[in-house]
Amino acid sequence: MSPDAPAPPQLTQPSATSCRPRSVGAAVFLLATSWTLGVTIVILSLELLAVGAAGGASSPWSWALAVLVVLYYCFLLWLIVAIGRRHTWPRFVLLALTLLTCISMLLRPGFYFGGDVAKTGFNVTQLALQGVALGLLFSRSARQWCQKQLALP
């Protein structure tokens, strides 16, 4: 083989995200946007909690709940990444969590819609983004992509 000859093409293993349908890419983007809105609400709430703590108005239970909420958002981020990496089960977990959120909104509408307009807008926008993303994740192209097996070397 001469030194000027081009190198043979390298055979590469396709990644879990290769040939990802647009529906999955859009769903991951919408979920990431929803997650960002949720984190914004959490940060603003933690700021209010910290101000209350400085004035002696918060309880240890408030901080315990805040830790659980932060852990929940870490779990959601992990789910979003897993969805983008072609795992099937996170779609169903996300569907269950979204349905639980809807039930919670029906049972306690004052909590979600009784506060200020900004928080209500954030909650409605988050739910709408998650609903559209779930529709995309359960579309035919997304289901087929999730069910394909990667070729083993």
CB 138 within 8 A of CB 88: no
Domain ranges in the chain?
23-146
Per-residue pLDDT 10s for the chain (153 aa) are 555 666 555 544 445 555 788 999 999 999 999 999 989 888 887 887 777 665 666 677 777 888 888 899 999 999 999 998 888 899 999 999 999 989 998 998 887 787 778 888 888 899 999 999 999 999 998 888 887 755 444
Q: Alpha-carbon distance 84 to 86, whole Å?
A: 6
**What is the predicted pLDDT for the residue at 35?**
92
Name residue, tokens 């979003």: 80
The residues near 30 (Cβ < 8 Å, ≥ 6 apart) are: 129, 130, 132, 133, 136
Q: How many CB atoms lie within 10 A of CB 122?
A: 19
**What is the predicted pLDDT for the residue at 11?**
45
59 CA to centre of own chain: 30
